[in-house]
Structure 1
Amino acid sequence: MIRALHRWPGLLALALVTILSLSGAALSVFPAAGRLAAPQAQTDLTVATLAERIRAVYPGVEQIRRSPSGRITAYWFDQGAPGAAVIDPATGQGVASADPNQTLRWLTNLHRSLFLGDGGRIAMAAGAAALLVLSLSGTALVARRAGGWRNWCAPLRGPRAGRLHVEIARIAVTGLFLSSATALWMTASTFDLLPDGGAIPAMPTEVSEGTGFAPGQMATLQQTPVAELRDLSFPYPGDATDVFALKTDRGTGYIDQGTGTLLAWAGLTGWQRVSETIYMLHTGQGAATLGLVLGLMALGVPLMGATGVMVWLAGRRGRPRIRGNQPAGRAGTIILVGSEGGSTWGFAATLHAALTEAGQSVHVGPMSGFAPERYTRAGRIILLAATYGDGAAPATAKGFLDRLNALDRAPDIPLAVLGFGDRGFPAYCAFAREVATTAQAQGWPELVPLDTIDRQSPQDFTRWGRALGEALGIPLELSHRPVLPKTDTLTLVSRRDYGAGVQAPTAILRFALPRVSLWQRLTGSGFARFQAGDLVGVVPEASAVPRLYSLASGRRDGFVEIVVKKHPGGLCSGQLAALEPGDTVTAFLRRNPGFRPGRGRAPLILIGAGTGIGPLAGLIRGNGSGRPVHLFFGMRDPGSDFLYGEEMPGWQTEGRLTRLVSAVSRGARPHYVQDALRGEATQVAELIRDGARVMVCGGRDMATGVAEALTGILAPTGLTPSALKAEGRYVEDVY
């Protein structure tokens, strides 16, 4: 519900809120510019002194105005001809034209009404209302994605467009809420939808009918600082019944022109003060710095609009379109999906179609939208949950466990949990298992026992579907075909072979960059933008299940490179190992934002073995800034599988690689990469204590051994690999 409330106002009102925000940002500059350009009065200058100075230069002065920026303007008649000027309060002389700024007037009319009068004002009010809805719903979505309000500032992961969208929102949402809410208040006031609430004193009926009392001698004007002045109107010449009218920040009053006596006064009401504060907050008049801050925040709107559209389009591409998806309140079966890369949504679509065909009413949504109070007709809830990293919630399940733990009692609706993962990882389906354990502890009734799907296996899914059908009392055959992302054709341009001497055939395969469309360049999709450590999915012949390989190159390198070890009976590795220059494969790109070197100059400790050197070599190649990089690399035999051994000396000479420590496991004294770390324990601990970032890539057993070695190395410092992971200073790409 919140996601839809955020998405559709944003898409429908994108052009309107963009005009509103850009014109508002431009207008925010004028109060500050006006304050800098206008001569400012001394703090002890009174209205009485100012009036005398101006009247001495312009005897026919009729009105003196002071704007919130401090600019003082005088209006007069001289021999029947009107005149006006910006005044220097120190002399009373005119120093600039009082004519309105035409650019300011044009922008104001655009911002308020699109040059369409009242109809335009209503349209812009609708834009402000859309912006308010976007601000409120966006705030809720940011909190949900971060895993709760307490994690508002937590680091984000995911595609760049989504992260940029949220980062801008975190900064700008307060200003956008303030600007949109005050805009709606001012529009309501313009159309007299709010009570006036003003207090204006009645014109005095009894005056002295005298004239000529000097303004400089009037006690009220002597007691009023220029800093509080808004407007001073002089009596009409020759009319002894007219009076001075004074408006200040404190109220409005009338002064007898013959005696200088204050005849009437009305202070500002609470309602007026609220209205004026709202005017100040919206326009920046009287608070130039605040206006500039709000203007800068408003510039985030077009950026969020562009990234929001990109996120929306990516979501439509990443999630299969589920036809006949029922609203949550009318569905008998609720399917909630926790996915990081999007593949789990394809299984949800298959399950939805099969259940719908069996006569069930089904709703599919993200686990992050878990709201049991809405499932009024549900007879069952099915959770399809992938796992991110070391057991964390995937992107579309953020906050699910927090909401589950916050319930007073578990829903009285039978639950089925199905985990998705890879048995090669230590944390296989860890998030799904945690969800099932938590639900069981809360007494949530079980529909079918927890089950898991290994490596997106259609066979595992079919087997689980039959068990689910038996529990529901309906025949259920789940025939799932993975929905692959849009693929490209990669052409091999060169290969280097290693490992024959140690019976571990390995190759560095370099492919030409595929051509990318203009849209891909603009959105960064496909192979238009990638970094070393991202993943390339290769679709082997006679299989619909892709294999993922870590990239050893970035877009700037001008090629796509991977390191592949041929596995006995390996369908994809065998196909890749047989490639010759000119041959092609079908592939797609998948971002891997969790495996990044991070910004800054903090040293990098890169640890890898075997083909795990691939992304690490790509990071070193791309280290043109000379950031300190310490590489620990494990191999079997330097004469056979020293991958990138030819490039290492050159990278060291160029300053891309600070230090190389190698470990050889085949020899008189087998030495592994974790042993190499222990041999350099003092320097490793010092580097990490000083802020170094650790990146590990390679097999699961190697990664486990590295974590154990670092645990011992860091023990005297009080640090642990787990603590470093929590800080984002220890990242792994393990297979």
Structure 2
Amino acid sequence: MIRSLHRWFGLVAAALLTVIALSGTALSVFPTSEALTTPAAQQISVAKLAARIQAVEPTVEQIRRAPSGRITAYYFDGDQPVSSVIDPATGTPVGSADTSGLERWLTDLHRSLFLGDTGRLVVAGGAAAMLTLALSGLLLLARRAGGWRHILKPAKGTGDRRLHAVISRLALPGLLLSSLTALWMTAATFGYLPEGAGAPPFPSEVSGATGIQIASITVLQETPVGTLRSLSFPAAGDATDAFTIKTDAGEGYIDQGNGELLAWNDANWFDRVTNFLAMLHTGQGMAWLGLLLGLSALSVPILCWTGLAVWLRGRGERRGASAPANHADTIILVGSEGGATWGFAETLRKSLSEQGMQVHVGPMSSFNPARWTSARRLILLAATYGDGEAPASARGFIECFRRTPVRQGLSLAVLGFGDRSFPAYCGFAADVARAAEEKGWDTLLPYDTVDRQSPQDFARWGRDLARTLGLGFELNHLPTRPKAWELSLIARRDYGANVQATTVILRFSLPKTSFRQRLTGKAFLRFEAGDLVGVLPEGSDVPRFYSLASGTKDGFLEICVRKQPGGLCSRQLTALEPGQSVTAFVRSNPGFRPARGRKPVILIGAGTGLGPLAGFARANKASRPMYLYFGTRHPASDALYAEELSNWKTEGRLADVATAFSRTANPAYVQDILRKDGARIGKLIAAGGQILVCGGREMAAGVATALSDILAPQGVSLATLKAEGRYAEDVY
């Protein structure tokens, strides 16, 4: 509902909002110009100011003070009316106060589109549309971020989608303020709001005298210029007229014969609110705010364009050459917000089609079993949007699914896609699976999930599907590779050469990126230790992934590489010299890093698996309890990060370091030192600790066995720790 509201209001009102916004941006320059050209304010009374102006221009009829502090006097030059900006220090004119033709034209365009009252109502409609877009956009930002607490997290995505999200975050406060104040001012203009106090009734009796010296009027002597709005002089020769004064506090009349205050009305709350909101909207009196609002308004055409581009791209995306729904034996329905789940659906479609199946792919919103006359199985690939809600292409699915009778002979599988770091992990997919179970749908496969678009999770589920169908395919999903960059090597450290096990620590400089690239999400991806760098070796388009031992904040990209027999990429990397470069890109791996907080972290690794664990220690400037268990061959040849580990322990970034050497007089492996330290590990896990394991598969299997034995007496299993997000592996 909110997405549809946001989309259609934006599409329908785009042209109107662009005109209003651009004219508003242009008008925001004038208050700044006025503030810069206004003579310096004087801390004097209205009486003194009026006397100075009257001495220079005896025919003065009115004095006005703008919110910016500019003083304007209206008088006659012969028989011609004149308005001039006044220097309050001398009372002399310093320039014309006439509004330029350009400013008048822009004002008429901005307020009414040159259409009078009808145009004002149209512009008010545009302000209402802008308010609706701002509020709905704010809700969508919160939902896409996973809740209000995460709304300030960096925007996801690339290109127009990311640019739209980044600019909307920056512009939202200004757009909300502009639209709200515009609606208030329109409502006040057309009398839909309570009236202000206004002027009191003109007094029925005056002294009848004239000619008082304005400098001697007590009321004006007690009124600072800083509170003045206007002072109107009595008509020449009319003894029944009076001075009219308007200030921030109210409005009243002063006798022109004796200077007494004849009548007065205090300003009410509506006057104060309206004046304040007018100042906020126009920037008159707050030029800096006017410029900020102008910059916010300047974002509107950009948001309109990027929003339209995202919408058109979504409509034009091809979802694969699927079979017609009424001829297909397999229906794949997709619930996706950003589009990534469609890629998994296409991988599945191709694999099943190669096995001779007729496969139809469509959005979950098109759920209609009555059309699937030949279908025998239904597979739902469902992502989750925000806090457990349906994504864009599954709008209305759950309601339709619950009221549709079970189709006999049609078996069902639900695969959820989500991010385990969000509280509502795969919440929508889980709701669908529960609804299917409650209605009694025949199960093709048990409900399962894919965490953070993991190809490994998808392949594992695919193997289960292949076994169920009696087929022999493998789901090898290759996500679209991001833009690759040239990374230049700046330093290397060599180990293991004397035992024919060449290992190097390679440090690369970060590529320089422009502001525009960062804004549109096309810059080199920010990364943390534990993320992955995909290196494209010469002569191959298939990337090899290495775990990162550094983060963006370190100012460099670092990896550990061991030369593998016949390894194309490892051979090239271990031969790389400073100044040479490789082609690479970064991929996030948020499932393998220390969780937030102060609870202890147990780091376990072997060989080059030490790389990301060293990166975690390097980033542990807050001295969180962090314990490292590391296995390698020999201290003389494979003591990776030996100096840094010693320093980090001294600095408190590592609480303890335990090392196992497998090629010494008393050989030991990392699982051996884990068992030896089992009592402490048990206490750390009981205290809520987290375990991160990195290295080869055999090592990881041995570590898992040792940890299972250590934790069994406490009734804790690795499966439980995994489910709680307290056990993670990065193995190869």
TM range (shorter): 0.5 to 0.7
Amino acid at match of 1:642: D
Amino acid at match of 2:335: V
| Cα distance, 1:378 vs structure 2 | 9.3
CA distance in 2, matches of 1:31, 1:615: 58
CA distance in 2, matches of 1:626, 1:456: 34
CA distance in 1, matches of 2:592, 2:27: 39
- Whether 1:145 and 2:156 are equivalent positions in the alignment is no
CA distance in 2, matches of 1:479, 1:133: 44
CA distance in 2, matches of 1:544, 1:577: 15
What corresponds to 1:400 in structure 2? 389
What corresponds to 1:118 in structure 2? 114
Aligned pair partner of 2:548 in 531, 542, 551: 551
> Kindly tell me: are residues 319 and 202 of structure 1, through their superposed partners in 2, closer, same or farther at Cα, counting changes over 3 Å?
closer
- Whether 1:663 and 2:659 are equivalent positions in the alignment is yes
Amino acid at match of 1:534: D
**CA displacement 1:612-653 (0-9 Å, x = unmatched):** 3223445778x7x98869772511334488363466389779
CA distance in 2, matches of 1:315, 1:614: 42
> Kindly tell me: are residues 478 and 24 of structure 1, through their superposed partners in 2, closer, same or farther at Cα, counting changes over 3 Å?
farther
- Whether 1:38 and 2:41 are equivalent positions in the alignment is yes
Q: What CA RMSD, in Å, does the superposition of the two structures yield over aligned residues?
A: 7.2
Amino acid at match of 2:660: V
What corresponds to 1:321 in structure 2? 317
> Kindly tell me: are residues 343 and 382 of structure 1, through their superposed partners in 2, closer, same or farther at Cα, counting changes over 3 Å?
same
> Kindly tell me: are residues 219 and 652 of structure 1, through their superposed partners in 2, closer, same or farther at Cα, counting changes over 3 Å?
closer
1:403-442 superposed matches below 5 A: 411-413=402-404, 416=412, 418-419=414-415, 434-435=430-431, 438-439=434-435
Amino acid at match of 1:134: L
What corresponds to 1:632 in structure 2? 628
> Kindly tell me: are residues 252 and 651 of structure 1, through their superposed partners in 2, closer, same or farther at Cα, counting changes over 3 Å?
same
What corresponds to 1:179 in structure 2? 178
**CA displacement 1:279-334 (0-9 Å, x = unmatched):** 23313546x4xx756855765676898899899989999999235999xxxxx989
For the 8 Å contact 1:318–1:485, the answer to whether it is kept is no
Q: Which structure 1 residue ranges, 5 or more long, are not aligned?
A: 327-331, 366-371, 387-392, 568-572, 714-720
What corresponds to 1:525 in structure 2? 522
| Cα distance, 1:177 vs structure 2 | 1.1
| Cα distance, 1:94 vs structure 2 | 3.0
Q: 1:142 aligns to what SS in structure 2?
A: helix
Identity of aligned residues (%): 32
**CA displacement 1:89-139 (0-9 Å, x = unmatched):** xxx84388465599x997897687489973899898797566434312211
What corresponds to 2:381 in structure 1? 384
Amino acid at match of 1:455: Q
What corresponds to 1:230 in structure 2? 229
| Cα distance, 1:234 vs structure 2 | 0.7
For the 8 Å contact 1:176–1:298, the answer to whether it is kept is no
- My pick for the range that moved more, 528-537 or 576-585, is 576-585
**CA displacement 1:179-222 (0-9 Å, x = unmatched):** 123235557888x7979968877997987694415357879868
For the 8 Å contact 1:325–1:363, the answer to whether it is kept is no
Q: Which structure 2 residue ranges, 5 or more long, are not aligned?
A: 323-327, 373-377, 715-720
| Cα distance, 1:67 vs structure 2 | 2.7
Aligned pair partner of 1:346 in 327, 340, 343: 343
- Whether 1:337 and 2:340 are equivalent positions in the alignment is no
For the 8 Å contact 1:175–1:297, the answer to whether it is kept is yes
CA distance in 1, matches of 2:221, 2:590: 67
1:529-678 superposed matches below 5 A: 532-537=529-534, 548-552=545-549, 561=559, 563=561, 576-577=569-570, 579=572, 581=575, 588-592=585-589, 607-610=603-606, 611-617=608-614, 632-639=628-635, 642=638, 644-645=640-641, 648=644, 661-664=657-660, 666=662, 667=666
TM-score (norm 2): 0.61
CA distance in 1, matches of 2:581, 2:314: 25
- My pick for the range that moved more, 177-186 or 28-37, is 28-37
Q: 2:628 aligns to what SS in structure 1?
A: strand
- My pick for the range that moved more, 529-538 or 556-565, is 556-565
Amino acid at match of 2:237: G
What corresponds to 2:456 in structure 1? 455
Amino acid at match of 1:345: W
**CA displacement 1:66-96 (0-9 Å, x = unmatched):** 33355554445688896855465xxx84388
Amino acid at match of 1:141: L
For the 8 Å contact 2:199–2:251, the answer to whether it is kept is yes
What corresponds to 2:375 in structure 1? none
> Kindly tell me: are residues 653 and 659 of structure 1, through their superposed partners in 2, closer, same or farther at Cα, counting changes over 3 Å?
closer
For the 8 Å contact 1:142–1:166, the answer to whether it is kept is yes
1:212-223 superposed matches below 5 A: 212=210, 214=212
1:8-27 superposed matches below 5 A: 9=10, 19=22
| Cα distance, 1:664 vs structure 2 | 1.2
> Kindly tell me: are residues 486 and 201 of structure 1, through their superposed partners in 2, closer, same or farther at Cα, counting changes over 3 Å?
closer
| Cα distance, 1:237 vs structure 2 | 2.4
| Cα distance, 1:535 vs structure 2 | 1.8
Aligned pair partner of 1:484 in 454, 477, 480: 480
1:454-473 superposed matches below 5 A: 455=456, 461=462, 464=465
CA distance in 1, matches of 2:299, 2:710: 45
Amino acid at match of 2:481: P
> Kindly tell me: are residues 163 and 259 of structure 1, through their superposed partners in 2, closer, same or farther at Cα, counting changes over 3 Å?
same
Q: 1:455 aligns to what SS in structure 2?
A: helix
CA distance in 1, matches of 2:104, 2:728: 53
CA distance in 2, matches of 1:339, 1:538: 29
1:55-70 superposed matches below 5 A: 55=54, 59-69=58-68
- My pick for the range that moved more, 697-706 or 548-557, is 697-706
CA distance in 2, matches of 1:283, 1:207: 40
CA distance in 1, matches of 2:658, 2:604: 10
What corresponds to 2:243 in structure 1? 244
Q: 2:61 aligns to what SS in structure 1?
A: strand
For the 8 Å contact 1:210–1:259, the answer to whether it is kept is no
What corresponds to 1:716 in structure 2? none
**CA displacement 1:672-727 (0-9 Å, x = unmatched):** 5767988999x999xx99xxx999452677699899999999xxxxxxx99x98xx
CA distance in 2, matches of 1:25, 1:606: 57
TM-score (norm 1): 0.61
Q: 1:173 aligns to what SS in structure 2?
A: helix
CA distance in 2, matches of 1:491, 1:80: 78
**CA displacement 1:342-365 (0-9 Å, x = unmatched):** 65330234678999x999997537
| Cα distance, 1:609 vs structure 2 | 1.2
Question: How many pairs were matched up?
Answer: 665
> Kindly tell me: are residues 271 and 481 of structure 1, through their superposed partners in 2, closer, same or farther at Cα, counting changes over 3 Å?
same
For the 8 Å contact 1:310–1:523, the answer to whether it is kept is no
CA distance in 2, matches of 1:249, 1:222: 16
Q: 2:402 aligns to what SS in structure 1?
A: coil
For the 8 Å contact 1:66–1:72, the answer to whether it is kept is yes
1:137-216 superposed matches below 5 A: 137-148=136-147, 151=149, 158=156, 173-183=172-182, 186=185, 210-212=208-210, 214=212
For the 8 Å contact 1:492–1:581, the answer to whether it is kept is no
For the 8 Å contact 2:632–2:639, the answer to whether it is kept is no
CA distance in 1, matches of 2:101, 2:706: 69
Amino acid at match of 1:144: R
> Kindly tell me: are residues 466 and 300 of structure 1, through their superposed partners in 2, closer, same or farther at Cα, counting changes over 3 Å?
farther
For the 8 Å contact 1:416–1:446, the answer to whether it is kept is yes
CA distance in 2, matches of 1:711, 1:71: 80
> Kindly tell me: are residues 337 and 224 of structure 1, through their superposed partners in 2, closer, same or farther at Cα, counting changes over 3 Å?
same
CA distance in 2, matches of 1:282, 1:127: 15
